[in-house]
Amino acid sequence: MMETNYHKPVLLKESVDGLEIKQDGVYVDVTFGGGGHSRAILERLGAKGKLIAFDQDEAALANAIEDERFTLINENFRYLRQFLKFYGIQKVDGVLADFGVSSHQFDDPERGFSTRFDKALDMRMSSRIHTSAQDVLNTYSEADLKKVFWRYGELKRAAAMAKAVIASRETGGITTTDDLKKVMLKYMPRHKENKIMAQIFQAIRIEVNQELEAIKEFLLQTPQVVSQGGRVSLISYHSLEDRLVKRFIRTGKFEGEVEKDFYGNPLAPFKGIGKMIQPSTDEIAENNRARSARLRIAERL
């Protein structure tokens, strides 16, 4: 049975519609979570269809679906191709990804993802990840902390914040949410405290889980596993994720010069389908965490 503290899937109909599901097709949901997107895909599959799901968080296993057409793999989606090959699957008809943190992870105080609870800072999406948020804050060099805050939090005062974290180690370091808030207080303008703190948490969380590296590795594997005419349906929650998705769909790369054919057209493995889709005002009113979601759909050429 699906746990009630997993969020209602964002852009559920739009993302599943985008896959143009064939009844006998093979599909992958690489961010299983509470299983909402997976259930919607299974509803559209026939008896011969197949759905493979990934989730690195052990807590998601409690939501596994009892269906012979369904397989749940407790691994990071950066290992997509490896595990599909292990299960004898060379090509699939579509892949859905809903990046970011699940509501379950945000709402569990012991996981240390949320600024709402004064708990130990952890932020690991899987217990198999060795580096926690505490490790980042208490062992990284000043230069590395500055990079984390600047690259992943896009924080203007990244250098000063890094220096403050280093200074805090003289009095015991940072282990809890409140410890971090106290150290960062002077860098948060009034009425912007929540926004800046969310950016700080985002930066540390991305570093702990190597989120952007995992997304890059995953995207680079999709041309190899998605059949010609197959679809990818990709939901991002902040500009760092969306930039990677947008550029990959357009060019098949993340940086550097775009390769072009004789006529000057980009040699990309996918073509974008329609425009970027955002949640409706009704969906945002019902689920505030949907407000920053961006859905991009592409088809394998």
Tell me the CATH architecture of domain 12-103+211-300.
Answer: 3-Layer(aba) Sandwich (3.40)
Distance of CA 68 to the CA centre of its chain: 27
Q: Please, which pLDDT band fits residue 1 given cuts at 50, 70 and 90?
A: very low
Strand order in the sheet with 226-236: 70-73, 50-54, 26-29, 92-98, 226-236, 294-300, 270-277
pLDDT at residue 2 in the model:
41
pLDDT digits over 196-207, tens only?
Answer: 999 999 999 999
Quickly tell me which residue has 């924080």 as its tokens: 155
Instruction: Examine the pLDDT at 287 and tell me if it is beyond 90.
Output: no
119 vs 148, residue with greater confidence: 148
Sequence spans of domains, the chain: 12-103+211-300, 112-209
Q: Please, which pLDDT band fits residue 33 given cuts at 50, 70 and 90?
A: very high
Q: Which CATH superfamily is domain 112-209 in?
A: Putative methyltransferase TM0872, insert domain (1.10.150.170)
pLDDT digits over 171-192, tens only?
Answer: 999 999 999 999 999 998 888 8
Contacts for 125-134 with beta carbons within 8 Å, 24 or more apart? 125/56, 125/57, 125/101, 125/209, 126/56, 126/57, 126/58, 126/76, 127/58, 128/56, 129/208, 129/209, 131/207, 131/208, 132/208, 133/204, 133/205, 133/208, 134/173, 134/174, 134/175
Q: How far is CA 104 from CA 5, 114, 210, in A?
A: 5, 11, 20
Amino acid at 155: L
Burial class (CB in 10 A: 0-12, 13-18, 19+), 86: exposed
Average predicted confidence (pLDDT) for the chain: 92
Helices (H) and strands (E) in the chain, counts: 12, 7
CB 301 within 8 A of CB 271: yes
**Sequence-ordered list of residues with C-beta below 8 angstroms from that of 168, at least 6 positions apart, any chain:** 174, 179, 183
Nearest to 42 by CA among 60, 62, 25: 25
Q: Which helix (H) or strand (E) holds 228?
A: strand 226-236
Quickly tell me which residue has 């993802």 as its tokens: 113
